[in-house]
Structure 1
Amino acid sequence: MKSEIKLRELVLEDKIAITNMLNNKNIWNNLRDYIPYPYKNNDAKVFITSAKTKTPVENFGIEYNGELCGIVSVEPQNDVYRLNGEIGYWIGEQYWGQGIGTKAIELMTDYAFNILKLKRIYAGVFGFNTASMAVLEKNGYKKEAILKSKIIKNETIFDEHLYAKLMTEDK
């Protein structure tokens, strides 16, 4: 049986799955600190409710064989950066290593270029997150810079690796 990976809009019923996956320190260690830890059902409800106010959609659930297994988002920028979008994503640990992140980034990148009409998509990756760097590289994202000592996570300073893909680049 071939596995199916797709993006779908979030629904309030996703809050338990999101909460369960985000209450994992291994995931949270790769996320920005504005995402609370421990993560509560109400945090998920607030996130989903906020996500549903965005038109067009910017936050999607990643579904693997009918199960929610993560989130992927693109945040269009504004002012002189208005043709740029920042992509972000996480996958539940039990789903790591199955190509789900790679496919989700492919789908979201296509959406950002074709629906949101962005010209450049970028991601900042914590210096220790080589798996995320590999996912982006598999999708044709290029490393543009290493920003030295830019991130503090868990009271430790790390470099940030900046990746980007332009709409005109081949996949």
Structure 2
Amino acid sequence: MATIKGSKFILRPWRLTDAASLQRHANNINVARFLFDRFPHPYTKADAERWVLAHQSKAVMTNLAIVIGDNAVGAIDFKQGDDVYRKSASVGYWLGEQYWGKGVVTESVQLIVPHVFYNFDIIRIQATVNGNNLASMRVLEKAGFTKEGIMRDAITKNGEIMDEHLYAILKDI
């Protein structure tokens, strides 16, 4: 996959040299608190190396590093559904805390959406957001996603039961 250029960053495939920067930015409770429990905290160097190696070996790159300067400071990924969901994809992202509030994730989503629609047989991209993650909801809304619903008491994170918000964007057909 080619690099996708943003105004202040690039989206590109992972490199083994990204592991140290990945570990530094991912090892933050404020990042981990909004992600699935499978995102470890603390986030060790071994976790970072395992992540990079796993994503370097994929035939189709669906998880990209968000790179500022020479540092991998976050990630954005998409997963195509299967079976009856084969024309749908989900998108997810995270960013190192020092880069929050600068439009990096919003622009990353705005760049990945047309890439996915153009390169894959997808007509819908969706994202789910923890009920306490207002910043991520704003990212999706600024990127053109529409809130389709709220699944009440759908997730448990750090012992708290909360709602999950569903956002989607459709391909212009």
How would you bin the TM-score normalised by the shorter chain? Answer: over 0.9
Match 2:122 to one of 115, 118, 123: 118
Q: Which moved more, 1:111-120 or 1:148-157?
A: 111-120
Q: Could you list the runs of 5+ residues in structure 2 that have no partner in the other structure?
A: 1-5
Q: Which amino acid aligns with 2:117?
A: F
Partner of 2:19: 15
Match 1:60 to one of 54, 58, 64: 64
**1:71 and 2:75 correspond:** yes
Partner of 2:29: 25
How many angstroms does 1:110 deviate by?
1.5
Partner of 1:45: 49
Partner of 2:159: 155
Q: Which moved more, 1:86-95 or 1:35-44?
A: 35-44
Cα 1:55–1:116, aligned 2, differ >3 Å: closer, same or farther?
Answer: farther
Partner of 2:40: 36
Cα distance in 1 between the residues matched to 2:51 and 2:12: 15
Partner of 2:168: 164
Instruction: Give the TM-score normalised by structure 2.
Output: 0.92
What percent identity do the matched residue pairs reach? 38
Moved over 3 A (4+): none
CA RMSD of aligned residues (A): 1.5
Residues 128-139 of structure 1 aligned to structure 2 (within 5 Å): 128-139=132-143
Q: Could you list the runs of 5+ residues in structure 1 that have no partner in the other structure?
A: none
Name the SS of the counterpart of 1:42 in structure 2: helix
Instruction: Give the TM-score normalised by structure 1.
Output: 0.93
